Copies of this chain bind each other. A is one copy, B any other.
Amino acid sequence: MEYIDLENSLKYADSHWDQFVEDFKNLLRIPSVSTDPAYKDDVRRTAEWIRDEMVRIGLHNCRLLELGGHPAVYGDWLEAGPDRPTILTYAHYDTQPVDPLDLWITPPFDPSVRDGFIFARGAIDDKSGVHIHLKAVEAILMSTGKLPANIKFFFEGEEESGSPTIIPLIHQYKDLLQADLLVLSDGGCIDDQPYIITSTRGITSAEVKVRGPVIDLHSGSYGGVVYNPAHMVAKMIAAVHAPDGRIQIPGFYDNVRPLTPAELEYQAGLEEELLKNARLETGLDDFWGVDGYSFIERQTALPTFDVNGLFAGYQGPGTKTIIPSEAGFKVTMRLAADQDPSDICKKFTRFIKSFEQPGIQVDISTYSESRAVQCLFDGPIVDAIQAVYETTYGKRAILYRQGGSVPVMGTMQHELGIPIINLGFGNGKNGHAPNECASLKYLRLDLDTAIRVYFAYPSSVQKSNPFEPM
């Protein structure tokens, strides 16, 4: 029965593909640049366009959710029955700005097809994510009259401007968004190789300023009697790492969750390839890190401390014989799973404060940004998605740990307390750059992938007790 529904859905997608591409173009035409206030109305227009599409394909409760920023779009279909799991799908409909405009071969909001690619700002990041999920549901609903699982769509409009209202928004609509699985659909595959991001690190950042004398002093007159703020900054930074590479901020590693043996074994198989890429990108032959850990663990599973900027005194050509009155540094700390950003901020602050001494004033600003996320790495839904990729792409996805941070993932995992799977549909080129484009071939393949995954949900996603989030 479900097999026939799947076949009908795939057939519907196939016969409506040209129309789907036209619909995609219509979505791409609305310039939803969230970071530029000039596009404020366009961003809202995009949200309304999506809401209307949700209504048209038969979703319920379709509406904009907002708390002062750009609206998110919500819609659901919850008639699969109480024995079926509920799937929350996240994507974002806003885009990066288009500068430098003169490098675009065709206008960024006038979608144009060339050599099998559709060129437009947002084509892969992340209107393709919104589009494929809408079209998968449309194909299934239109051809079968129902969906295999209960679904909730939550499409954000602020991702490219740092998601300023996403935390209160998710907190406010926590109950509305409750589900058994969160499908994050931002990212994608590269040519014929699917990727599934299985983790991101969290992040906190900080800025430290050290002040000494009220003005820059002559290094002859006061060298030897005034403590140099630049020396203090060096002392602070040098104290962070032990010779074995570990971070010596007290309590820093308290809650770090180690990789499971299964992940360790899997990642070991990727190590050589990752090292090869790293050598190419950095120009380095030799890498570094905490003793006793593999490259991939250091890069994705351990927390870090990196100075991003350092300043004091005179930086121009030649010499200026001063003791600078001020010095400072900026730092980002990447966090491992289970580290709490605000706890790390407190520990960092305490550590830096311990350097205070007479004649030196220390100002610390910390920014608790986001938690690390451990998405599903194995289990029934990962197996099901891998099986789908084997059918559509002819190969399994690479399970990819990401060293960077995706704030919205951390927020959603923390607020909703549900498992996350990453299933992105941006397959193309030039995200965040001129001439962003999506491959029509892989867009087509991704639609089939999405439809098949929807049919795989019921048998692979565990229904949690709706009153007790995991």
Contact = CB atoms under 8 A, between A and B. Distances in A.
Interface of A: 201, 203, 205, 212-215, 217-228, 230-231, 233-241, 278, 281-290, 295, 298-299, 302-315, 319-324, 327, 329-330, 332, 334, 358-359, 367, 402-405
A287 B225 contact: yes
Nearest to A220: B404
B304 A223 contact: yes
B314 A222 contact: no
Number of copies: 2
Nearest to A298: B224
A227 to B, nearest CB: 4
Given A237-B234, A287-B359, A334-B219, A310 B308 contact: no
Nearest to A227: B288
Nearest to A300: B224
Contact of A306 (B205, B219, B282, B334): B219
Contact of A323 (B203, B230, B306): B306
* Most chain B CB atoms below 10 A, which of A227, A287, A288, A324: A288
Contact of A282 (B214, B303, B305, B309): B214
Contacts of A313: 307-310, 330
A285 B214 CA distance: 11
Contacts of A227: 287-288
B295 A225 contact: yes
Contact of A307 (B215, B230, B289): B230
Contact of A219 (B219, B234, B283, B308): B308
B312 A219 contact: no
B404 A307 contact: no
Contacts of A282: 213-215, 217, 222, 226
A40 to B, nearest CB: 22
Contacts of A322: 308
B310 A309 contact: no
Given A288-B359, A307-B313, A367-B319, A237 B230 contact: yes
Contacts of A201: 220, 223
Nearest to A230: B307
Contacts of A237: 230-231, 234-235, 238
B228 A238 contact: no
A221 B285 CA distance: 16
Nearest to A295: B225
A312 B314 contact: no
The 4 closest A-B CB pairs, nearest first, are A220-B404, A214-B283, A286-B358, A238-B238
B288 A226 contact: yes
Query: Which of A241, A278, A282, A320 has the most C-beta atoms of chain B within 10 angstroms of its own C-beta?
Result: A282
Contacts of A240: 231
Contacts of A295: 225
The interface centre, meaning the residue of A281, A306, A321, A329 with most chain B CB atoms within 10 A of its CB, is A306
5 contacts: A228-B306, A230-B307, A231-B307, A288-B359, A310-B327
Contacts of A330: 313-315, 319-320
